[in-house]
Amino acid sequence: MRSIIKTSVSAAAVLVAAILLLMLGTTPAAAADDVSILGYDHKPEDREFNWAKLHGLTDHNRECVDNEYVRACVQPYGDVFWLRDDEWDAIDVRLWWVDLDSKRWGVCQSAEGYGDWARCDKNLTNGHLVKWASSWYEDGEWQFSPVQYITI
């Protein structure tokens, strides 16, 4: 009887931990903080982090990249970063960006789930060149889209 109770308690603890991780929008490993793909000598303390907020996609012009895991767009008018998670894996997707004409850089992360558009509304300086890439978690590590450039 004790072994049944012990097994049940252990299973319940694992289930509670898994539910908490999903509710908090936690993603695997902090390794995604390494954005050397952007080729920018950034200071970690300068990183801007924003949770993307659920929002319907608007009709403004934007540049996008997509694959089977994530669709990411940058809308220069309004300085909006868009993300849509296209994989049923319960792992967040990200858009990393660097303002090449200032010290600003950061990540827009969406935990909104499969198929929903979410956005980060930034206030970047007009005329600045922004380098960006989307990222998703696959096969135990973070993957990045080809790097894109856009003038805000």
**Per-residue pLDDT reduced to its tens digit, 109-131:** 999 989 999 999 999 999 999 99
- pLDDT digits 0-9 by tens, 27-84: 444 444 455 666 666 677 788 999 999 998 776 788 999 898 999 999 998 899 999 9
**CB count, 10 Å around CB of 122?**
19
Residue 23 pLDDT > 60, yes or no?
A: no
Q: Is the pTM of this model over 0.85?
A: no
Domain ranges of the chain: 31-151
Mean pLDDT is lowest, of 19-33, 75-89, 130-144, for: 19-33
Q: Which residue has the higher pLDDT, 23 or 116?
A: 116
pLDDT classification of 7: cutoffs 50, 70, 90: very low
Mean pLDDT to the nearest integer, 101-111: 93
CATH topology of domain 31-151: Immunoglobulin-like (2.60.40)
Residue 22 pLDDT > 90, yes or no?
A: no
